[in-house]
Structure 1
């Protein structure tokens, strides 16, 4: 009985140590998520301004730009997968990888070859474990994205898009990442980045006439300058959304782990008390039995 009591006490100590770790990680994630949400909100006005500028050029000119023109046949498609560098975030990485696999199956069913561009060590480990190849991989900095990384990703994607499919290029580009809906909900999102589908996010509340635009020097040159910037902003915005969703997923997972540790501590404490009470009862019974034997 004493050995069983020692086991329960060791389990209680282990659960308390685990709770301290998970509680600390929960607080760290809670502090980081506010900064991540602030960065997402700060990038929104710039993204909207770029969207309006690209919309103006694309809708008010007859220029057939490669980035805005749908090709007749699509042979190869690129899928950019956003994951994290670390785990302990619940289903954050698994759900975005599952969404990427479903997208890949859909593209292959349409007769398209798929090439992958990976962001985060979890995506890299997923492909390495399955002996699957990828075009490029970027690791580090997923919890605090930097714009330089977004520029590097954008340049790699634009180079592949501007290359003929027969030479290893791609005809369309898709982004797969997690978007923060709320502190308890992070959903995977699939977006086609290229060829460009310009959609203004906010609906117009009033019917207004479109103004007349004059492009200087010409619409094609303006598109050449605007579209790379637009793509960089979209990629960076997806990185910020993924980072914010990761912190929220970590906080949720660590809170669940802390609650489970509390449950274990409570259950093992009850079992330890029962074992201790049984041990005391047994000792008292042995003393009483010994005293009766001496008396007789």
Structure 2
């Protein structure tokens, strides 16, 4: 028979845990609203940047002067994956979902005899990767709970420097895209080289009805040189915002589930406690009655 004191202690322990998970849920919910607004507000800017880049790229002709961030190295043997994870846990499947997707990507590239390295953003990603893919980790940035543009600039600068040193041919960023508080979508997006179509210099065709609405000053080439690194920063910043919103949503859902489980456990423990207490009382009454009858 369970000890009443042990049951009381366990009930108090679960009640204390419930208070913590409930508080974490409310904090995550408060942060989620702000992070969600930031992520959704960044999407039009990032999409328009992609549109402008695509327009510029469609007018470019392949040549020796084409920026490497656009044309690439001419190979796709060495891949770098920038993985966005969190510094803290207790956020459900937030980290495992994106790392699982990256591991699938690595397996696909390995099957094609390609080399993949990983630049990790966030401590939890390191823990999930170091056992099977620790040799692929080439660097780390701390995860940012409230992303700022300078955080994206720091990551972009690191990536561009590595690209210029020839450490990789293709760079892909992996993150959780925010869908809703209960749904996040693991996403992989290539950011280097920019995925656009460079016109064939010999077979370039221009359709007047499809002429761009954009005008570029001082020239398309000058604007492109400036926008290529800028676009990388913008896409990374957008991914950071999506990841932050996804983390808060996942943590809120996880803490809500933990709070509900704690409530169920407290109910079951209280039921066990009352039954045990009733059994003790019944046993004592039987002993008293038996003693009285013996007299």
Compute the TM-score of the two structures, normalised by the length of structure 1: 0.88
Distance 1:102 1:40 in 2: 26
**Matches of 2:60 and 2:80 in 1, distance apart?**
28
Distance of 1:243 and 1:232 partners within structure 2: 16
Partner of 2:177: 179
Q: 1:133 to 1:56 in 2, by over 3 A?
A: closer
Structure 2 match to 1:139: 142
Unaligned runs of 5+ in 2: 198-208
Mapped to 1, the partners of 2:242 and 2:270 lie a distance apart of 42
1:276-291 correspondence runs (5 A): 276-291=277-292
Distance 1:110 1:16 in 2: 53
**Alignment partner, residue 49 of structure 1:** 48
Shift in alpha-carbon separation, 1:214–1:255, aligned structure 2, 3 A? closer
Which residue of structure 2 lines up, in the alignment, with residue 77 of structure 1? 79
In the other structure, the counterpart of 2:232 is 231
SS, match of residue 292 in structure 2: helix
Q: Distance in 2 between matches of 1:113 and 1:61?
A: 30
Q: Which residue of 2 aligns with 1:249?
A: 250
- After superposition, the Cα gap between the structure-2 partners of 1:108 and 1:93, relative to the gap in structure 1 and judged at 3 Å, is same
In 2, are the aligned partners of 1:145 and 1:243 still within 8 Å (CA)?
yes
In structure 1, what is the equivalent of residue 15 of structure 2?
A: 16
Q: Point out the more displaced range, 243-252 or 109-118.
A: 109-118
Q: 1:248, 1:183 → 2: CA distance?
A: 4
Return closer, same or farther for 1:72/1:61 CA change in 2, 3 Å cut-off: closer
Q: How many residues align?
A: 280
* Aligned mates of 2:26, 2:79 — CA distance in 1: 40
Instruction: Please list every run of 5 or more consecutive structure 1 residues that lacks an aligned counterpart in the other structure.
Output: 200-207
3-state DSSP of counterpart to 1:116: strand
Instruction: Give 1:121 shift.
Output: 0.9
Q: 1:87 aligns with which of 86, 89, 93?
A: 89
Look up the SS of the partner of 1:62 in the other structure.
Answer: coil
Alpha-carbon separation, structure 2, partners of 1:283 and 1:198: 83
The corresponding residue for 2:200 is none
> Residue 144 of structure 1: CA displacement?
1.1
Partners of 1:197 and 1:251 lie apart in 2 by: 35
Q: How does 1:205-216 map to 2 (within 5 A)?
A: 209-211=210-212, 215-216=216-217
Taking a change above 3 Å as real, the CA distance of residues 210 and 33 of structure 1, as seen in their structure-2 partners, is: same
- What's the offset of the Cα at 1:135? 2.3
CA distance, structure 1, for counterparts of residue 92 and residue 213 of structure 2 = 51
The question of whether the paired residues in 1 share the 8 Å contact of 2:182 and 2:250 is answered with yes
Distance 1:260 1:49, change over 3 A: same
Cα gap change, 1:214/1:24 in structure 2, threshold over 3 Å: closer, same or farther?
closer
Cα displacement string for residues 203-235 of structure 1 (whole angstroms, at most 9, x for unaligned residues): xxxxx7433655433332221101111110100
**Structure-2 change in CA distance of 1:112 and 1:290 (3 Å):** same
Q: 1:132 to 1:6 in 2, by over 3 A?
A: same
Give 1:264 shift.
0.7
1:111-130 to 2 correspondence within 5 Å? Answer: 111-128=113-130
Deviations 1:249-289 (A, max 9, x none): 10011011111101110001001110111111111111111
Which residue of structure 2 aligns with residue 259 of structure 1?
260
The answer to whether the Cα contact below 8 Å between 1:78 and 1:115 also exists between their aligned partners in 2 is yes
Q: Name the Cα RMSD after superposition.
A: 2.0
